[in-house]
Structure 1
Amino acid sequence: MDDAAALRLGMGAYSGAVRPVGASGSGAAGETMLLWALGQPAAQRHNAFVHHAAHSLALDACGRRLSLLQSPSSMATPGVTGAVVWDSAFVLAKFLEHAVDSGRLDLRGARALELGAGCGLAGCVAALLGADVLLTDLPDRLKLLRKNVDLNVGGDARGSAQVAELVWGDEPDPELVDPPLQFVLGSDVIYSEEAVDDLLVTLKQLAGPHTTIILAGELRNDVVLECFLEAAMADFQVGCIEQEQWHPDFRSRRVALFILVKKPPLASQSDVPLPHFVMTHTR
């Protein structure tokens, strides 16, 4: 059997096919090598869905035209990445819509949080799909984020959207995690080795036993991704959602889509029934 091709049906709240990371025993290094070998991200088109020089971008989603304001001039400031929309945000937003439309995901009434929301595309789409979403970012990013939420999530939305400050690594405001979150979303949040530790601290703080984390990220640096996956696998079950599960018009070999579910505490693992799953194989 080719373990690298084995798929598990369902992880967390997502009922579609997921390839468990490290199922073949190769761990984070093997997963990273697989993504780079199969996708050849450096050879793929950069910014296939976005235009960073534009002051706004449009996207058709959830039966309406979304308009995302950008701040291209802010990109000249070191460390500022949330002022424009990246391909991974388009992939994640349209994946959520496609997964809901195909019955693999249900966001109605779910409490969700978007990490490092930037321009807020994924969080706005999640709200339009019925979730009650907290879109979070650093204090200096919230002005643009609020504008996009106000512009795209109106009173006729099936869910709701609010903006809140969240600094990775800091203790989150109790209101962010009470009541518990069903979903944590993020696009392009795995971008530097320095940020990995704080990101994982925050993911562990936000995630409860019934939280599903969905992260999309561009494949820019294999060392950073391997570092993240290696550390994440200590506390989370990690899976990769293959491109066949994405929206057919928003697929890119430069982007990977991961799903994470918190492992039960070691002391109680023997008492927790093993999840039912079916092994299939890709060709």
Structure 2
Amino acid sequence: MICAGDDDEDPFPVEDCLFAETFSQDTAFTLFGQELRIQQVFGGNLGVAAAVWEAALHLCSYLEERSVEVRGRRVIELGAGTGVVGILAARLGAVVTLTDLPLTLPQLEANVSANTPSSGWPATLPTVLPLSWGQDHMNFPSDWDLVLCADIIYLPETYPLLVRTLAHLCKNTAVVYLSSKMRKEHETPRFFEECLPSRFNVELVHLDGSQNINIYRASLRKDLSQDLD
């Protein structure tokens, strides 16, 4: 995830002055009985991609509490940022592809390397690839089992691009889990009430009113499953 600036030419601009200095912070998280060490590189133009956000931790907890099966499944994470959600899935045996904008990939690769199990990855080494929604999504296959998204709904100008990308990724019945802080100032509720339902069946599966975080499960509507857009 990359924070927005004022450049109208780029739907995923970077806020140059979000952090005045560059520094890193390593944090340990215990999730699904797995201890992950996640480096957060604040500065370096990473913007909001630097942090592990509460919505990502909520999604990890939801997958555990609801016993969502990830072992052996093909999983892609969009706007992966630090990669905590996708790396956890890979540690649990999923075949994982982590995606974000090119600027974020070194942080993702470093976190994948830092969390390699001593016995090796249960399935395969997670793949790290650039993906700009609505621009190069057709370079990716459509045979995923799960698409994971944590706190990526905050730039209204990207909402149509994200829906288009999800529609392509989910043509072969993939299920999407989206965990999001519900920011009215960024029209986040509108994304789930209007934008996503234009192509997907959408269900609210978790609500945390104290932290204003919702988790949604979505699947492509059958009448749109052959849409190539």
How do 1:193-208 and structure 2 match up within 5 A? 193-208=156-171
> Which digits, 9 at most, give the CA deviation of each residue in 1:246-279, with x for residues without a partner?
xxxxx953211011000012699xxxxxxxxxxx
In the aligned structure 2, how far is the partner of 1:88 from the partner of 1:215?
Answer: 9
CA drift of 1:223 comes to 5.7
> Which digits, 9 at most, give the CA deviation of each residue in 1:208-265, with x for residues without a partner?
2420000101122266123312021111000011349xxxxxx953211011000012
Aligned length, in residue pairs: 201
Provide closer, same or farther for how the CA distance between residues 184 and 191 of structure 1 changes in structure 2, counting only shifts above 3 A: same
Does the residue aligned with 1:60 lie in a helix, a strand or coil?
Answer: strand
The alignment status of 1:99 with 2:66, answered yes or no, reads yes
In the aligned structure 1, how far is the partner of 2:120 from the partner of 2:52?
Answer: 24
Does the residue aligned with 1:195 lie in a helix, a strand or coil?
Answer: helix
Find 1:122's aligned residue among 73, 79, 85. Answer: 85
In the aligned structure 1, how far is the partner of 2:112 from the partner of 2:224?
Answer: 40
Bigger Cα displacement from structure 2, 190-199 vs 225-234 = 225-234
CA drift of 1:157 comes to 3.2
Letter in 2 for 1:92: L
In the aligned structure 2, how far is the partner of 1:148 from the partner of 1:129?
Answer: 16
Letter in 2 for 1:90: L
Provide closer, same or farther for how the CA distance between residues 153 and 243 of structure 1 changes in structure 2, counting only shifts above 3 A: farther
CA drift of 1:80 comes to 2.6
The alignment status of 1:81 with 2:34, answered yes or no, reads no
Provide closer, same or farther for how the CA distance between residues 54 and 139 of structure 1 changes in structure 2, counting only shifts above 3 A: closer
CA contact (8 A) 2:207 2:213 kept: no
How do 1:57-72 and structure 2 match up within 5 A? 57-72=27-42
Q: TM-score, normalised by structure 2?
A: 0.79
Does the residue aligned with 1:226 lie in a helix, a strand or coil?
Answer: helix
The alignment status of 1:256 with 2:220, answered yes or no, reads no
Provide closer, same or farther for how the CA distance between residues 221 and 159 of structure 1 changes in structure 2, counting only shifts above 3 A: farther
CA contact (8 A) 1:209 1:264 kept: no
Bigger Cα displacement from structure 2, 234-243 vs 157-166 = 157-166
Q: TM-score, normalised by structure 1?
A: 0.65
Identity across the alignment (%): 29
Q: Which has the higher contact order (CA 8 A, sep 6+)?
A: 1
5+ long unaligned stretches in structure 2: 1-22
Provide closer, same or farther for how the CA distance between residues 238 and 63 of structure 1 changes in structure 2, counting only shifts above 3 A: same
How do 1:175-214 and structure 2 match up within 5 A? 176-177=140-141, 180-214=143-177
Higher Cα radius of gyration: 1
User: Over aligned residues, Cα RMSD in angstroms?
Assistant: 2.4
In the aligned structure 2, how far is the partner of 1:62 from the partner of 1:156?
Answer: 17
In the aligned structure 2, how far is the partner of 1:266 from the partner of 1:151?
Answer: 40
Does the residue aligned with 1:82 lie in a helix, a strand or coil?
Answer: helix
Off by >6 Å, runs of 4+ in structure 1: none
CA contact (8 A) 1:113 1:185 kept: yes
Correspondence for 2:98: 135
5+ long unaligned stretches in structure 1: 1-52, 245-250, 269-283
Find 2:196's aligned residue among 209, 232, 240. Answer: 232
CA contact (8 A) 2:199 2:224 kept: no
